[in-house]
Every structure is written in structure tokens, then in C-alpha cells.
Amino acid sequence: MELVLDCKIDKATLQDKSDIVSLEALCFRAGIAFSKKQIAYLLKSPRADIYVMRWNETLAAYAIILKRKTCRGEVARLYSFAVKPELRGQGLGKKLMLECLEKLRRENIQTVFLEVEAENKSAIALYESVGFCRVARLKSYYGENQDGLKMKLTLT
């Protein structure tokens, strides 16, 4: 529990770019992980919010959220989310997720979507623990025979 209390969450700046790129490459396989160029683009995009969680000056976790206007109001999409491997299982992911959802709620965003690999049990358990529901199975979304799940959360 202490680790969670010592973590600090901030909006990412361009200075966080290389740490985010490194953690993204560590957590996702080639072809799925965002490149340096994509992270740089997202950091500058007005439609993307990136939050970084630091522990002891190191990047412990990050969340990338895209926002777009639709005819039913603004919706958010969790675009990437990861915790440093050696810091997992200690509540950091859940703390970052809850804080991101709170920020979206304060911006009056009512709907959050995400896609996750159907076999990614830890991520699915985390998402369900904060209220996301499964809305569709996405056939071969992550490659041949690698299905995804689309999940949705309605913020109240």
C-alpha cells in the first residue's frame, strides 16, 4: 500500500517522451507498441491526454486517453495503459485508472471505450474492477487468432 501512497500522478509533458516510449516498448510487443514518433504526436495532440505516474523519480505507469466529440457528446478512448513490470500487483494500475476516470468525469465525459486483448486477464480484471463491461468481441483484432474485446464504461 505504501508504494501507492508515494506515487504522484501528473499530466505528461514532452520531457516524459523517452520514458513513455521505453515503458511502452517494454510492455507491448513490436507492432502493437507505439513508436517514438507516435508518442511525440500524441503528446502534442489537443485530442489526447497522457498521464504519468512517478515513483521515486521513475516512470511507474502511464495512461493515454483520446477524446472526440460525437453526436451523443464527448467520448473518451483508453488508447494505452501500462504499469512497469516490477511494480505491478500493488494497486498502481487501479489508482491511475481511477484518477483518469475522475478527470474525465470532471470534464463531463460520460462514455469511455477501450480495446484489450481477449487473453489479457490482468488488464480485463482491472477494467472490470472499475466498472467497464464487455460490449463486443473483435475477431483477430490483434493479429491472426488474437481476438480483442471492446469494453465500455458509462461515467455517472
Active-site residues, by number, are 115, 127
What CA–CA distance (Å, rounded) separates 39 from 126?
Answer: 24
* CB nearer to ligand COA: pick between 73 and 85: 85
Instruction: Give which of 63, 40, 38 is closest to 114, Cα–Cα.
Output: 63
Query: Closest distance between ligand COA and the C-beta of residue 87, in Å?
Result: 7
* CB nearer to ligand COA: pick between 29 and 69: 29
Residues near ligand COA, by CB under 6 A: 27, 81-83, 88-94, 116, 120-123, 125-126, 129
Query: Closest distance between ligand COA and the C-beta of residue 71, in Å?
Result: 27
Q: Which residue is nearest to ligand COA (CB)?
A: 93
Q: With contact defined as beta carbons under 8 Å apart, do 138 and 148 qualify?
A: yes
Query: Closest distance between ligand COA and the C-beta of residue 27, in Å?
Result: 4
* CB nearer to ligand COA: pick between 10 and 119: 119
Q: With contact defined as beta carbons under 8 Å apart, do 28 and 22 qualify?
A: no
Instruction: Give which of 153, 68, 71, 80 is closest to 110, Cα–Cα.
Output: 153
User: Where would I find the H helices in 2-87?
Assistant: 2-6, 17-27, 36-44
